[in-house]
Amino acid sequence: MSTRLTTGGRLLNKAKQVTFSFNGKQFTGFEGDTLASALLANDQMMMGRSFKYHRPRGVVASGAEEPNALVNMGQGGKFEPNQRATTTELYDGLTCTSQNHWPSLEFDVGVVNNYVARALPAGFYYKTFMAPAAAWKHVFEPIVRHSAGLGKAPKDRDADRYEHFYAFFDVVVVGGGVAGLMAAKAAGQAGAKVLLMEQTAHWGGRAPVDGGKVDGVKVDDFIDATVAELEAMENVTLRNRMMGAGVYDHGYILGYERLTDHAPLMEGPRHRLWRIRAKQIVTATGAIERPLSFAGNDIPGVMLASAMRDYIVNFGTSSGDRVVVVANNDDAYRTAFTLKIHGLEVPVILDARPNGGGPLADAAREQGFRVENGKGIAKVKGGKRVTSVAICAQAGEGAVLEDIACDAVAMSGGWSPVVHLWSHCGGKLIWDEAQAHFRPDPDRAPTSHDGNPFVVTAGSASGPLKLGDVLVDGQKAGEAAAQAAGFDVTSTNAPKGDVHDEAPLVPCWLMPQGAGPKLRMKAWLDYQNDVKVSDVKLAAQEGYESVEHTKRYTTLGMATDQGKLSNINGLAVLSDALNQPIPATGTTTFRPPYTPISMGAIAGEARDEVFQPLRRTPVHDWHEANGAFFEPVGHWRRPYCFPRGSESHADAVSREIRQTRDSVGLLDASTLGKIIVKGPDAGKFLNMMYTNMMSTLKVGKCRYGLMCNENGFLMDDGVVARIDEDTFLCHTTTGGAERIHGWMEDWLQCEWWDWQVYTANVTEQYAQIAVVGPNARKVIEKLGGEMDVSKEGLAFMEWKDGKIGEFDARAYRISFSGELSYEIAVPASQGRAFWDALLEAGEEFGIMPYGTEALHVMRAEKGFIMIGDETDGTVIPQDLNMQWAISKKKDDFLGKRAQMRDHMASEDRWKLAGFETEDGSVIPDGAYIVDHGTNANGQRNTQGRVTSSYYSPSLDRGIAMGLIHGGMKRLGDVVEFNKVDGSTVKAKVVDPVFYDKDGEKQNV
């Protein structure tokens, strides 16, 4: 039984009982418990089932490395799967369920996998789900989907809020154990701006559990005093419940702060992701104990020796009444002592080393423990709980010497430094033969922007495990980091901590070392993913020699714990199978984050309304209030149409077009890009930017221009107005404003930096409203003001500044619809008022706003091209019959050279024409013009494609523009466009100008 003890529990507040529920059952615990310790205290050792075989699983560890005790936490909008019970602080009202079982934790159908485990070896899925291909959809995929994934995916919207926080430090110390405290203090004393973060709620790490003295005082008191000292230092920031999630290039480090996980009713963000730049990073991330690989090492009740100690000292919780201790090192003896002090029984300590342990072992014998040298566990017996262990000689093959009844096993296979953060950005490791672990190689640290190392390890994360050594290493690391960050350091002596004599560890990768296949099949390496010694051996046998391949083939170390427990043992088994030393096998890659972090924290504030910035025009509120149906254009939202009542979008578009063509319509064109280009060389510059000759444009006039990239392809278009001798105003497409401004700056800054030209993007300075239709002039004249907008006063393709009504306006007499049209720019802050004034003035003409779809249809009726419809990044102006817009007088413009290339000048290019279906229907968007025969892939040959296709209300029929082999030479031909249903529709090649071919309507 695991139970609450009357002793121990230094982190508990026994005065404060809390209630929580696990699988619907109510339990109690104390403030200060973790979920794992509280479950243990309630004798709930079994906390989940494994991924593949659905074997019963209990808690193994006490921290971030826990592979088994994962739960579905919370409900509704606070539901989250795969939460580690060992790192979840208990709070009143906590609700959770165990994972990976059906219908219940105690009785699980999926456990049948366990009984056929022999048939589910490594690579089972790869080997099985091969052929026939048809089986994928109906058989394999459903099976894989059903069995994939731990926990449940949340169904509700996340009810919490999250945020980011940018911070800058000289030195960031990760890990608030004694090494981290020492490092932070040393760096802080040197004057560095320091952040010390600790993933748990407590300072000091394992030291209070392991005990010992520092400068003659209890280590607990030393920790308290050091924390107090750090808190008093203005240049040091301390943050607990904050994990160093990842180390990245140039001193970038992510701190994952969990603000309300321990108190979900607290106001404020749940997680805060600190995006930190540090000159130096100290990783004082400690070490993790390794399990031992013996048969049945996954049965609930088998735990890490250190974890068992943690549960007693920190949480006053036993893991069992009779505990067998099995180890290959001296540290596990401390667990035996702790168990005894707290009144629990240790029937035997199995020391796998032939010559046993050092002074701690001697002390154990003196205290009356039964210690067996050179012995190990042949097999743990039990199902949902350990019932006994069979002991054997470590050197043998597992012949049982004795059966010892017990309800828990404390195992220790030695310690591995937590090297993740060191390794994330390229820090290299060396194999330490004596400790049998990989540790950071200080000579091969990750390097930063200046080529110098920026990560230092401290304490157990460097290798040393003894208190005194850890303190010295922590101090050294803090000093080194401060110095590297540019501070003067006067080195001082670290406080003196205990350095007990210990006998060396003897590596023990399989127990017993000669274990046969039957035992190996029950010796777990990766608890979460059900990878056993036998699987890794099989992978090696099948040729998976690279550790990275073996990982993927067996799934060793691929689960949410990323092999924190299993890695080294797995590598050792693989090395043994390959008959090569461990360093030759190497490790898999350590990738951030250290433990999984929430998706919410990654998104930060970017959700809901502010998921993405929305750009709104000065008239946006009116559009919204008047039922506009919006479409996104870049980050802008533009009205697509303004449906009235139950009107369909198509009907609304037709109404808007008819009203505009018959009387007058309004378009909010504020989103069009507007760039001022000014300087003595502005004309020369625009001659390069546009295919047209812009330098000859007269002041007061407008010219439509095309822009190409250096590949010759069309990239933007718009109307250019010459404001004065030195100044032009260039209009761009809505999506093009920032891009084209950057494009201009690129050429000015990087190529023609001696040309005297300045640009300014003034897109948002103006609300620009197009007043369009036969009655447009009357509406504007009705507003009054001094501006003469008559046919003569403001001729087609002219612009003018002046007052329209009470508004400061600039009117452009340009048309994208073929109608009499004025585009009028007023200061943005008067835009809404101007819009309202136009609506009022136009009331007698039945004025109505139109949206982007009406704009598109009207321009298509006139055969005007649209960037993004007629162009797709592979179309040159010549393809669109726009030779008229390409100056022949200019020696050079961007794209000219490319347009001279053979392929660009080829007669075989598809060119623009208009199309009318014989039946008047609308050609589907994206349709191709089919041709005779098939290509090499057996696909129908094509000879062109549609680029714009609409129902034209003005003509009451479908109209289209498209690119066709031969272009306008094909006038009168009848071609076939394919349709979605596989049939085709016949269409005649026609002039793309469908409406008012002579342009009379715009010239009134």
Question: Phi-psi bin for 543: left (phi > 0), alpha (psi -120 to 50), beta?
Answer: left
Q: How far apart are CA 909 and CA 906, in angstroms?
A: 6
Q: Which of 243, 247, 245 is nearest to 259 (CA)?
A: 243
The conformation of residue 219, written as its DSSP 8-state character, comes to H
> 835 vs 994, which CB is nearer to other proteins?
835
Helix (H) or strand (E) holding 776: helix 776-783
Helix (H) or strand (E) holding 675: strand 673-678
Q: Is 231 in the site for other proteins (CB under 8 A)?
A: no
Of 442-450, 591-599, 790-798, 962-970, the segment contacting other proteins by CB under 8 A is 442-450
b/e string for 497-525 if b means 16 or more Cβ within 10 A? beeeebbebbbbbbbbbebeeebbbbbbb
Q: How far apart are CA 867 and CA 706, in angstroms?
A: 10
Q: Is 169 helix (H, G, I), strand (E, B) or coil?
A: strand
Of 383-391, 642-650, 746-754, 857-865, the segment contacting other proteins by CB under 8 A is 746-754
Q: How far apart are CA 680 and CA 553, in angstroms?
A: 68
Contact residues for 727 (Cβ-Cβ < 8 A; gap 6+): 676, 677, 678, 682
8 Å CB contact between 857 and 865: no
> 827 vs 924, which CB is nearer to other proteins?
827
- The residue count of the chain comes to 1004
Helix (H) or strand (E) holding 325: strand 323-327
Of 37-45, 129-137, 272-280, 773-781, the segment contacting other proteins by CB under 8 A is 272-280
> 100 vs 759, which CB is nearer to other proteins?
759
SS3 of 95-163: the string is EEEECCCCECCCCEHHHHHHHCHHHCCCCHHHHHCCCCCHHHHHHHHHHHHHHCCCCCCCCCCCCCCEE
Site mask for other proteins (CB under 8 A), range 704-743, x = bound: ------xx------------------------------x-
Tell me which of 125, 136, 248, 951 binds other proteins, using CB under 8 A. 248
> 114 vs 830, which CB is nearer to other proteins?
830
Q: Which of 246, 66, 67 is nearest to 174 (CA)?
A: 246
CB of 282 to other proteins, least distance (A): 20
CB of 627 to other proteins, least distance (A): 20
Site residues for other proteins, window 179-198 (CB under 8 A)? 193
> 77 vs 742, which CB is nearer to other proteins?
742
Site mask for other proteins (CB under 8 A), range 890-919, x = bound: -xx---xxx-xx------------------
Tell me which of 76, 268, 354, 581 binds other proteins, using CB under 8 A. 268
Tell me which of 756, 881, 921, 942 binds other proteins, using CB under 8 A. 756
Q: Is 753 in the site for other proteins (CB under 8 A)?
A: yes
CB of 265 to other proteins, least distance (A): 11
CB of 765 to other proteins, least distance (A): 4
CB of 677 to other proteins, least distance (A): 9
Of 459-467, 757-765, 771-779, 945-953, the segment contacting other proteins by CB under 8 A is 757-765
Q: Is 488 in the site for other proteins (CB under 8 A)?
A: no
Compute how many other C-beta atoms are within 10 angstroms of the C-beta atom of residue 232: 9
Of 268-276, 303-311, 393-401, 488-496, the segment contacting other proteins by CB under 8 A is 268-276
8 Å CB contact between 556 and 550: yes
CB of 200 to other proteins, least distance (A): 20
Q: Which of 770, 758, 837 is nearest to 1002 (CA)?
A: 770
Site residues for other proteins, window 157-176 (CB under 8 A)? 161, 163-168
Helix intervals (H) in 141-275: 141-147, 178-189, 207-210, 219-231
Q: Is 441 in the site for other proteins (CB under 8 A)?
A: no
Q: Which of 943, 928, 914, 913 is nearest to 985 (CA)?
A: 928
> 573 vs 675, which CB is nearer to other proteins?
675
> 111 vs 676, which CB is nearer to other proteins?
676
> 320 vs 604, which CB is nearer to other proteins?
604
Q: How far apart are CA 266 and CA 289, in angstroms?
A: 35
Compute how many other C-beta atoms are within 10 angstroms of the C-beta atom of residue 395: 13
- The sign of the dihedral angle between the CA atoms of 9, 11, 12, 13 is positive
Q: Which residues pair with 80 in a beta bridge?
A: 73
CB of 804 to other proteins, least distance (A): 10
Q: How far apart are CA 95 and CA 19, in angstroms?
A: 9
CB of 604 to other proteins, least distance (A): 8
- Max distance between CA atoms of the chain, in angstroms, equals 115
CB of 726 to other proteins, least distance (A): 8
CB of 870 to other proteins, least distance (A): 23
β-pairing, 799-804 vs 807-812, is antiparallel
Site mask for other proteins (CB under 8 A), range 760-779, x = bound: x-xxxxx-------------
Q: Is 78 in the site for other proteins (CB under 8 A)?
A: no
8 Å CB contact between 856 and 948: yes
Tell me which of 250, 549, 791, 997 binds other proteins, using CB under 8 A. 250
The first and second tokens of residue 977, run together, are: 């466009």
Site residues for other proteins, window 802-831 (CB under 8 A)? 805-808, 826-830
Site residues for other proteins, window 592-651 (CB under 8 A)? 605-606, 609-610, 612-618, 635-636
Q: Is 237 in the site for other proteins (CB under 8 A)?
A: yes
CB of 861 to other proteins, least distance (A): 30
CB of 595 to other proteins, least distance (A): 21
Q: Is 486 in the site for other proteins (CB under 8 A)?
A: no
Site residues for other proteins, window 444-483 (CB under 8 A)? 447-451
Site residues for other proteins, window 378-407 (CB under 8 A)? none
CB of 769 to other proteins, least distance (A): 13
Q: How far apart are CA 691 and CA 681, in angstroms?
A: 17
> 827 vs 966, which CB is nearer to other proteins?
827
CB of 896 to other proteins, least distance (A): 5
> 215 vs 724, which CB is nearer to other proteins?
724
Number of residues binding to other proteins, judged by CB under 8 A: 81
Compute how many other C-beta atoms are within 10 angstroms of the C-beta atom of residue 888: 6
CB of 161 to other proteins, least distance (A): 7
Q: Is 249 in the site for other proteins (CB under 8 A)?
A: yes
The conformation of residue 952, written as its DSSP 8-state character, comes to E
CB of 562 to other proteins, least distance (A): 22
Q: How far apart are CA 489 and CA 937, in angstroms?
A: 72
8 Å CB contact between 49 and 105: yes
Question: Phi-psi bin for 24: left (phi > 0), alpha (psi -120 to 50), beta?
Answer: left
Site residues for other proteins, window 827-866 (CB under 8 A)? 827-830, 832-834, 837
The first and second tokens of residue 520, run together, are: 């190996």
CB of 646 to other proteins, least distance (A): 30
> 260 vs 546, which CB is nearer to other proteins?
260
Tell me which of 77, 383, 680, 920 binds other proteins, using CB under 8 A. 680
The first and second tokens of residue 9, run together, are: 């529990």
> 606 vs 1004, which CB is nearer to other proteins?
606
By 3-state DSSP, what share of the chain in percent is helix, strand and coil, each rounded to 5?
30, 30, 40
Site residues for other proteins, window 11-70 (CB under 8 A)? none
Q: Is 676 in the site for other proteins (CB under 8 A)?
A: yes
